[in-house]
Amino acid sequence: MSDTNSALLLVDIQNDFCEGGSLAVPDASKIMPVVNSLIGEASEAGQMIIASRDWHTVDHASFEDRGGPWPPHCIQDTEGAAFHAGMQLPDDAVRVSKGTGFDTDAYSAFDGTQLDTFLDRHGIRHLRIAGLALDVCVRATVLDALKCGFDAELVASGTRAVKQESATDVFEELRAAGATIS
């Protein structure tokens, strides 16, 4: 893959998914050195850097009080929705907001965001992916990237699972679907 047709896609590295957040992923902060190294490599290679984020409305459909599976998290314009301060995200990184409607949820960075057409327009064919959480939004993003025809490389050390015991199965599922696990 040439550098110009590759991009780094960082999935939901937000305060609410890190230690102390309302929906913290165990050991989430341990991915920061890997993520920052990936950002440095992509920047040096002149590659596009994209960061997705949950950007939920107040009273979002995924919240437990609305019958959803999750506690309130990543509510628009709150500290919990902010990207983790330890992530050295460049100012020119592309930000993709998902789960923005009141009554629909979105796990994948591709779900309702038109990210696939944006990447196509910019000639991107290969995605290096890292972020949170492996067994939820990262999994959905990798699967959708593959469905959209992109080469997807998941950086294993740059992700953590909500349920750590599911990590091996998720890696195997993604590999079987066509992803590269590095």
Q: Which residues are marked as active site?
A: 12, 98, 137
Q: Which two tokens stand for residue 177?
A: 């679907």
Q: For residues 6 and 140, is the Cβ–Cβ distance under 8 A?
A: no
Taking the C-alpha atoms of residue 179 and residue 148, their distance in angstroms, rounded to an integer, is 12
Taking the C-alpha atoms of residue 106 and residue 89, their distance in angstroms, rounded to an integer, is 22
CA-based Rg of the chain, rounded to a whole angstrom?
15
182 residue type, one letter = S
If phi > 0 it is left, if psi is from -120 to 50 it is alpha, else beta; for residue 178 that is left
Taking the C-alpha atoms of residue 82 and residue 65, their distance in angstroms, rounded to an integer, is 23
